[in-house]
Amino acid sequence: MGLPRRYLGQDEVVVRHMHSHVKELFLSGIIAILLIAAVVTAILVMPNSADPWGTYAVIAASVIIAIWRVVVPWLRWLTDTYTITSRRIITRTGILSKNGHDIPLARISNVAYEHDLIDRIFGCGTLILETSADNPLRLQDIPKVEEVHVELTELLFSSEGFRRQD
């Protein structure tokens, strides 16, 4: 599912629509597995005298923890998106309330990327977009960050402001 067409300008084309790298959900996945194991263990070793309220308490506590540590991070990952179009970079964040930030490509003065060893293993990195504003925009955990970097630089240098005069 990409950015809806109604959010694009006339003749604007989506070049790439993405979420941050799925590695952000790794810890949530481990927590989910450990939580399931803990619930099963707690129910199996629970004395009969604690039934059924002990079981209800274990399940209620596990549901609360699962929502907080598994469901919310997954929803955050699902709803936070980065879109590169032929004219701008669009970021959207938020589960219940949405926040958006658009940067016209013409305002970007430098595109860089960083990736440490873990990022290189997972094939992601941080994309750094510098504009005339004080702080650069840092997009964390971008999948295939080097490809995105190349696409952005191609878009920047092919725009009218950067075309060679022959």
Does the pTM surpass 0.85? The reply is: no
Task: Compute the mean pLDDT over every residue in the chain, rounded to the nearest whole number.
Answer: 89
Residue-level pLDDT at 10: 86
Asked if pLDDT for residue 72 goes beyond 80, the answer is yes
1-55 residue pLDDT tens: 577 788 788 888 899 999 999 999 999 999 999 999 999 999 999 998 888 999 9
For residue 166, name the pLDDT band (cuts at 50, 70, 90). very low
> Could you give the CA distance from residue 21 to residue 144 in angstroms, rounded to a whole number?
9
> Could you give the CA distance from residue 43 to residue 124 in angstroms, rounded to a whole number?
40
DSSP the chain: ----GGGSPTT--EEEEEPPPGGGGHHHHHHHHHHHHHHHHHHHHS-GGGTTHHHHHHHHHHHHHHIIIIIHHHHHHHH-EEEEESSEEEEEE-SSS-EEEEEEGGG--EEEEE--HHHHHHTEEEEEEE-SSSSPEEEEEEETHHHHHHHHHHHHHHSGGGPPP-
Q: Which span out of 30-34, 130-134, 159-163 was modeled with the highest average pLDDT?
A: 30-34
135-156 residue pLDDT tens: 888 999 999 999 999 999 998 8
Residue-level pLDDT at 135: 83
Q: Which span out of 66-70, 89-93, 97-101, 107-111 was modeled with the highest average pLDDT?
A: 66-70
Residue-level pLDDT at 164: 37
Residue-level pLDDT at 133: 74
